[in-house]
Amino acid sequence: MYFGSDNAAAACPEVIEAVLAANTGVQGAYDGDTLTQRLDGVFSDFFGRECRVFVVGSGTAANCLGLAAMVPPWGAIVCSREAHIQVDEAGAPAFFSGGASLVLAEATAARLTVEGVRAAVAWMRGDVHQVQPAALSITQATEYGCVYTPGEVAALGDEAKRRGWRLHLDGARFANALVHLGCAPGDITWRAGVDVMSFGFIKNGGMSAEAIVVFDPALAQTLPHRKKRAGQMPSKGRYAAAQLLAMIETGAWARNARAANEAASRIGAAAGDRLLHPVQANEVFVRASPEDSAALRAKGFEFYDWAAGEIRLVTAWDTPEAHVQALAAALAVL
Amino acid sequence: MYFGSDNAAAACPEVIEAVLAANTGVQGAYDGDTLTQRLDGVFSDFFGRECRVFVVGSGTAANCLGLAAMVPPWGAIVCSREAHIQVDEAGAPAFFSGGASLVLAEATAARLTVEGVRAAVAWMRGDVHQVQPAALSITQATEYGCVYTPGEVAALGDEAKRRGWRLHLDGARFANALVHLGCAPGDITWRAGVDVMSFGFIKNGGMSAEAIVVFDPALAQTLPHRKKRAGQMPSKGRYAAAQLLAMIETGAWARNARAANEAASRIGAAAGDRLLHPVQANEVFVRASPEDSAALRAKGFEFYDWAAGEIRLVTAWDTPEAHVQALAAALAVL
Amino acid sequence: MYFGSDNAAAACPEVIEAVLAANTGVQGAYDGDTLTQRLDGVFSDFFGRECRVFVVGSGTAANCLGLAAMVPPWGAIVCSREAHIQVDEAGAPAFFSGGASLVLAEATAARLTVEGVRAAVAWMRGDVHQVQPAALSITQATEYGCVYTPGEVAALGDEAKRRGWRLHLDGARFANALVHLGCAPGDITWRAGVDVMSFGFIKNGGMSAEAIVVFDPALAQTLPHRKKRAGQMPSKGRYAAAQLLAMIETGAWARNARAANEAASRIGAAAGDRLLHPVQANEVFVRASPEDSAALRAKGFEFYDWAAGEIRLVTAWDTPEAHVQALAAALAVL
Amino acid sequence: MYFGSDNAAAACPEVIEAVLAANTGVQGAYDGDTLTQRLDGVFSDFFGRECRVFVVGSGTAANCLGLAAMVPPWGAIVCSREAHIQVDEAGAPAFFSGGASLVLAEATAARLTVEGVRAAVAWMRGDVHQVQPAALSITQATEYGCVYTPGEVAALGDEAKRRGWRLHLDGARFANALVHLGCAPGDITWRAGVDVMSFGFIKNGGMSAEAIVVFDPALAQTLPHRKKRAGQMPSKGRYAAAQLLAMIETGAWARNARAANEAASRIGAAAGDRLLHPVQANEVFVRASPEDSAALRAKGFEFYDWAAGEIRLVTAWDTPEAHVQALAAALAVL
C-alpha cells in the first residue's frame, strides 16, 4: 500500500488514450504538429486569458526555464526555505538562468507571507555589489500540501509588483489547489499577479509532460530559444501535447485532483491531532515516532520519513480506496 | 506522401505496447522504477561490454550532456561543419558544458577524416590563451546519410586518443548505420574508441526517449547530477525506459532501421546520377532544380529543400511502400 | 576623518616603488615577466610549503576563481550568512563556477563553528536531487573583524576533510589576522587544512592585485584556463606581480596590518561596552543610535551604518594617528 | 632588440605620473573615487557624443563584457576567423555571455567586408534550432595591423543594423588606427554604427586598465552588474581611472600611437616585397623562411613566428629608434 509519492502512480486512461490516438500518421516534427499548435488556445480558454504554453519534460525544466525568462544571471529569486527549487532541483535555477541565486524566506507550511518575504530581503541593499531580486516564486499547493487563497496570492503579487519583481508559481500540484479552492484558474494566477507558472500534470495522472504557462507575452519571447538549447523541445511533440490536451479537455485534471485530495482528507482526518499541517491537497504530514513508522510499515504501508518525528503520506489520482481505508484505520489506532 | 523527416513518423507498435504495459501499478519515481534499473544490463549485453545508460528526452540533451561530461567549460569539441550539434542545437553544447566551443572541420558528406580533423586544429597552439580541444564528435550515420566503417571510426578514435581527446558519437541514426554495416555494435563504438554516444531511438520508431551510453565509467560520474539539474530526469521514468527496452529487446531497432534504409536505397537508385551522396542510411540527397522540386511537390511529395539545387528525402520505419514506389517513379522521370 | 573602508586608502610606498621599479624595459607579456615568475617561490617561502600563486585584479575574482577550482557547477559552498561571497559579490560564486550555490550557516561575528556548519547542512540528503556541498569557505579575519585561531581553522578543516569537502579561505584581511595571532602563516592555512586561499593585499596597502594561493597542486591545474577566460590574466603582468612581491619581501604586509590593527584596538578600547565584537583585526563594530551616528558625523567622522543601531569603523595602514585619537575621544564621550 | 609584442613595453610617463598623483589621501572605494567619476565626461568629450565608460583589467574582459551586454546566451557573434576573441581569449565570449557562439567569416588581413559577413551567415536559417546572430565584431586595427576606413566601418554598421545586429569594436589598437586615419574618433565609432567598443590603452603605453565605451545607453544598463560579478570592479578604482584619464587628457594616446606606427612604417618599407599586409598600425607581417628568421634572431631580434613562412614584428610607443634602424637594415639585406 503505497503512499510514497504521486510520481509513482501510473498515467490515467485519458492520457494513455490520447497518446495512442496521437500515434497515427505523419505529424510535423518539433512543435509543428497539430496538437502542439492547439495548446495556446486550449489553455487560454482554461485560464480565461490569452497565454502562451510551452511543453517540457519535467517539473524542474518547467520551473527553471520559466524563472530564467524572468531573472537575469545576477538576479535572485525569493522563495521559501522548503521550496522545491531550493531543496530538490540540484541547482537547476542557476543552471537555466546562467547563475541566479535563491534568497530563502521563512514560511509556515512552506506558505510564504508578505511579511516573510520582506524579512528575507531586509538585509539587501539593492546596490551593484549584491544579487538583485527579480522574482518571487511560490508553490501551489505548497510542499506541505497547503494552499494559498486568491487573496494570499494577490497580496504576494502586489508586493512583487511594488518591488519590480515578477511572480512565479510552481504549480506541480496546481490542480489539487484549484479543486480545493473551487475558484477560477485565473483567480490564483494572472488575476493575482502571476506572470509565469509551471502547470504540473505528471503527478496528477500525466505521463511525461509539464507545461510552462506565460501570462505576460513579453516573457514568452526568449522561451523558444531557451527550450531548444536546453534539449526541452521534443522532436515528436505530439505525444507531449496530447497528454496536456487530454487532461484539460476531458476534465481529467479536476477529477484526478479531487480523488487524490479526498483520499488525503480522509487520511488527515484519521490522523487527528497528529496532523502537522492542514490537508488542502494530496499530502498528509503526520507526527510519528520511529516506533509509529515501524508499526505502519509492518502493516504494509510505504511512505517517506520527513523531518525527525514526521512522516509524509501522499495520495494519487488512483490510490485504491481500500488502501486509504486501511491507512486511515491504522492511523486511528496508532 | 511525406519524406520530410523521420521525426514526423509515429512510434512503432512495440514502443506503444511497452508504454501501455508500463502503465500498471506503482513504480518508484525518477530512476527508481524496475524498467530504468534494467537499462544498464540490457545495453551492456547489446554492446558486449559493460556500459552505463542515461535516458533523456531529446537528441540535443543526449549529445550535449554526453559532451559536457567530457569537455571542460574552456574546452573545444571538434566536429564537422555540418554536424547537428553545430547546425541544429541552438548553442546547446555551450549551455550544457558551461561554455565549450566547437571547432569546425571540413568533411565530405559530413564524414570526418583524420586529415580533416588535423587541418581543423592546425592553427591551434595549445597554450592557455586558446580554447582546449577535448573531444572529437562524429555523427553516425552522418547528417548526409553516410556511414563510417569500423576502420574509419577507429582511425578517428586513435587520433583522438593520441591527442588526449575523447571520442563522442552522435548516434541519432545509429541503428541505420548498424544495419547498413552489419557489424557488431561494439565494432563502431567502444572497440573503435568511442567513449560516450547518443543512441537515438526517436527517429527510428521511438516516442520520446533517447539514450546516452557511456563506455568509460569515469565519464559516468557527473551525469546523474548533470541530468537532474538540466531537468532531464523524468519523474515517471518507467515510460522512457520502457521505450528503449522495447526497441532493443524485441529487435525493433533493427527491423525499423532496415525498413527505412531499404526504402531510401530504392529511392536513391531511382535518382540515378542526380544522387549527391551514397545512400547508406535513410536519407537521400538529390540534385533538383526549382522546377524539379515544384514538379515533385505537384505530385504530392513533401520534403525539404537543402542547399541550393538540392533536396533531402528522408524515409522512416513506416514509410508506406506505395509512397516509395511513387517517389521512385517520379524521380525516374524528372 | 575617514573610517569608511580600508579600500579607500592609498597604496603604501613599497608598492608604489615596486611599480615604478617594474616600469623599465621589455618584459614578457602575460605571465612571461620575471616578476610573475618569482611569485611561486616567494610565496612558497612565506608559507613554508610549496604552493602555486595566481594574481588577479580583485578579491571577488580571487575568491570565486579559487572556489570554482574546487566546486562543480552543481556543487554548494558552505559559508556564513555574513560571508563576503554571499553578501557582496553579486553572484560571482555562481558565475565563476558555472552555477554553484551557497549554503548559509549561522555564525557569531561571522566566525563559523563546526556545530554551525553541521546545522547548516543537516537538511541535506546527499542524493542527486540536491546540490552537493563541495567546499567550506571561511573568512580570515571575518567580516566582523574577528580571527579564527589555528585550532579553530583546523577543526573546520577536519570537518571538511571528513565530509570530502575542500576548505577555502577568503583572506581579504589575512595579514591582519596573521599579525593578531602571531603564528606562522602555515598554521592557519595549509597545516589547518586550507586547500586554496585568497591572500588580500589591496586593503592592506596594495594597489590593484590580489593573490590566489593554492596548496594542493591538483587544484591548480584548471586555474590558468579559468583566469584567462575570465579576463583575469593581465597583459602586463609585471605591475601586478611587483605589488605582491613588494608586500611580502619588504615585510610591508606585516607593518601595514599591525598599524591598522593597533588603530582599531585603540578605537575599540574607547568604545567600551558599546563594542559589539572583539577587535582582532582592523574593524570596529559599535552600538550607536541614530543620534550617536549624527553626533560623530557632525564631528567630521565618516563611516558606514551597519545593521540598525550599529556602525562600522575601519582603519587602514595609513589612518592618521590624530584621526584615531579624535575618534577614540569622540567615542568615549558619546 | 624586442619586436615581440606591444604588451611587453613599459607604461609611458604620463600614466606612471597619473598613478603616482592618484596615490594621495582617501578616495571612495570601487567607482566612488573622483577619477572614475570623471571618465564618462572625458570620454564623451573625446568622442563628441555622450557615452558611458567602464574600466576593466584586460582586453579580454573589455571585449567579452561588452559583447555580453549585446548578445543573449543563445546568440552568435560574427567575427573574422583571425579575431582576437576567436583565437586568443580562451572561450571568454561564451563565459561572459553565458554561452554565445562565434560565427567565423573569411577576411583579408582580418578585415571583414560586407560580402564576407554575408557569406559567413548564408547557411543560417534564423529558426529556433540555430544560434541567433546578434552582433558583428570587428577589430580596429585588425589582428594583421590593417585599418578600416570610416566608410568600411559604416558599411558594416549598416549591414548589422539592417539585420538587427549590434556592432562591436575590439579597439585593442584603436589609437593606432585613429592616428593612421587622422579622422575624428566618432567617424569610426558611433557615427559608423558602433554600439560598444573596447578602447585599448595597455598596448599603447598604459599599465593595467582598458575601457569599455558604450554609445547606446540601453546597452549600459547591465554592465555594472556584469562587471561586479566578474570581479572586474577594482576596489581602488582610482588607479585604473587615472591611467585612462592621463592617456586621453595629455594626448599621450596619440603621441604613443604615432610613434609606434611610424616605427612600423619604416620597418615595413624596409621589408619591401616581403611585406604581407599594408602597414597601417604598429604591426608588420613579413615573409621569412626559417633561415631568414634564424638570421634575424642571430642578429639579436626577438619576434614571433606567425603562420608558416611568416613572422610578426610589433613596435611599441617606446621602441628605441636604434632598434628600428637595425631591424630595417637587417630586413633590407635578407
How far is the C-alpha of B59 from the C-alpha of B52, rounded, in Å? 17
Flag whether residue C231 sits within 8 Å of chain B, measured between CB atoms.
no
Chain B residue nearest residue D307, CA to CA: B123
So what's the pLDDT on residue D301?
98
How far is the C-alpha of B4 from the C-alpha of B63, rounded, in Å? 23
> Best of C74, C101, C221 to disrupt the B interface by mutation (most B CBs within 10 Å)?
C74
So what's the pLDDT on residue B57?
98
**Dihedral angle sign, alpha carbons of residues A30, A34, A39, A40:** positive
Flag whether residue A224 sits within 8 Å of chain D, measured between CB atoms.
yes
Query: Phi and psi at residue B103, in whole multiples of 5°?
Result: -110, 120
Residues of C in contact with B74 (CB under 8 A): 225-226, 228-229
Place of cell 521525426: B7
> Are the C-beta atoms of B97 and B71 separated by less than 8 Å?
yes
How far is the C-alpha of C194 from the C-alpha of A137, rounded, in Å? 37
In chain A, the percentage of residues whose pLDDT exceeds 70 is 100
So what's the pLDDT on residue B61?
98
> Are the C-beta atoms of C84 and C63 separated by less than 8 Å?
yes
β partners of residue A77: A102, A135
Flag whether residue C89 sits within 8 Å of chain A, measured between CB atoms.
yes
Cα three-residue angle B229-B235-B239, rounded to 5 degrees: 125
Fold adopted by A253-332: Aspartate Aminotransferase, domain 1 (3.90.1150)
β partners of residue A311: A286, A305
So what's the pLDDT on residue A279?
98
Residue C65 C-alpha from the chain's centroid? 14
Query: Phi and psi at residue C79, in whole multiples of 5°?
Result: -150, 175
Mean pLDDT (whole number) for A268-276: 97
Chains that touch C (3 or more CB pairs under 8 A): A, B, D
**Dihedral angle sign, alpha carbons of residues B139, B144, B148, B152:** negative
Cα three-residue angle C240-C244-C250, rounded to 5 degrees: 140
Residue D123 C-alpha from the chain's centroid? 29
- Measured in angstroms, the CA of D29 and the nearest CA of chain A are apart by 12
Interface predicted TM-score of the whole assembly (ipTM), two decimals: 0.96
- Listed by start position, the domains of chain D span 12-249, 253-332
Chain C residue nearest residue A131, CA to CA: C90
User: Mean pLDDT for chain A?
Assistant: 97
So what's the pLDDT on residue B95?
98
The beta-carbon neighbor of C90 closest among A89, A94, A131 is A131
Amino acid at B213: V
Contact check, Cβ <8 Å, B74/C98: no
Query: Phi and psi at residue A32, in whole multiples of 5°?
Result: -90, 5
What's the full length of chain B, in residues? 334
How far is the C-alpha of D228 from the C-alpha of D210, rounded, in Å? 15
Q: Which three cell numbers stand for residue B323?
A: 509512397
Place of cell 561571497: C85
* DSSP symbols for D263-299: HHHHHHHHHGGGB-S---SSEEEEE--HHHHHHHHHT
How far is the C-alpha of D192 from the C-alpha of D48, rounded, in Å? 13
> Best of B123, B124, B132, B312 to disrupt the D interface by mutation (most D CBs within 10 Å)?
B123
Closest CA to D141 of D186, D177, D195: D177
H runs (alpha helix) in chain D? 13-22, 39-47, 59-68, 84-87, 92-97, 114-120, 150-163, 174-181, 217-220, 223-229, 237-249, 252-271, 290-298, 321-332
Q: Which three cell numbers stand for residue B216?
A: 568509460
> Are the C-beta atoms of A191 and A165 separated by less than 8 Å?
no
Mean pLDDT (whole number) for D290-313: 96
Residues of A in contact with B91 (CB under 8 A): 229
So what's the pLDDT on residue C245?
98
- The residues, any chain, with a CB within 8 Å of residue A206's CB and separated by 6 or more, are A11, A12, A15, A243, A244, A247
- The residues, any chain, with a CB within 8 Å of residue A298's CB and separated by 6 or more, are none
Mean pLDDT (whole number) for A302-316: 96
What confidence tens digit (pLDDT) does each residue in D45-63 have?
999 999 999 999 999 999 9
So what's the pLDDT on residue B205?
98
Residues of D in contact with C90 (CB under 8 A): 225, 228-229
Chain B residue nearest residue C75, CA to CA: B225
In chain A, the percentage of residues whose pLDDT exceeds 90 is 99
Q: Which residues of chain C have pLDDT under 70?
A: none
- The residues, any chain, with a CB within 8 Å of residue B2's CB and separated by 6 or more, are A26, B8, B302, B319, B323
What confidence tens digit (pLDDT) does each residue in A81-122 have?
999 999 999 999 999 999 999 999 999 999 999 999 999 999
> Can you list the positions of beta strands (E) in C236-319?
283-287, 304-305, 310-314
How far is the C-alpha of B71 from the C-alpha of B103, rounded, in Å? 13
Mean pLDDT (whole number) for A174-200: 98
Flag whether residue B32 sits within 8 Å of chain C, measured between CB atoms.
no
So what's the pLDDT on residue A63?
98
The beta-carbon neighbor of D208 closest among C11, C91, C240 is C240
What confidence tens digit (pLDDT) does each residue in C172-216 have?
999 999 999 999 999 999 999 999 999 999 999 999 999 999 999
Q: Which residues of chain B have pLDDT under 70?
A: none
pLDDT band at A58 (very low <50, low <70, confident <90, very high): very high
How far is the C-alpha of B260 from the C-alpha of B252, rounded, in Å? 12
User: Mean pLDDT for chain D?
Assistant: 97
**Touching C: D residues 277-316, CB under 8 Å:** none
Flag whether residue D233 sits within 8 Å of chain C, measured between CB atoms.
yes
Flag whether residue C124 sits within 8 Å of chain B, measured between CB atoms.
no
Contact check, Cβ <8 Å, A230/B235: no
> Are the C-beta atoms of D58 and D194 separated by less than 8 Å?
no
Mean pLDDT (whole number) for D163-182: 98
Q: What are the distances in angstroms from CA B102 to CA B79, B87, B132, B193, D290?
A: 7, 11, 10, 20, 32
So what's the pLDDT on residue D209?
98
Domain C12-249 has CATH 3.40.47.10: no
Contact check, Cβ <8 Å, C236/D11: yes
pLDDT band at A264 (very low <50, low <70, confident <90, very high): very high
What confidence tens digit (pLDDT) does each residue in D219-246 have?
999 999 999 999 999 999 999 999 999 9
**Dihedral angle sign, alpha carbons of residues D173, D175, D179, D184:** positive
> Are the C-beta atoms of C257 and C283 separated by less than 8 Å?
no
Q: Which three cell numbers stand for residue D15?
A: 600614466
Is the pTM value of this prediction over 0.95? yes
Flag whether residue D224 sits within 8 Å of chain C, measured between CB atoms.
no
Closest CA to D51 of D200, D184, D227, D197: D197
So what's the pLDDT on residue D103?
98
How far is the C-alpha of C112 from the C-alpha of C83, rounded, in Å? 10
- Measured in angstroms, the CA of C129 and the nearest CA of chain B are apart by 6
Q: Which helix (H) or strand (E) segment is C198 a member of?
A: strand C196-199
Q: Which helix (H) or strand (E) segment is B330 a member of?
A: helix B321-332
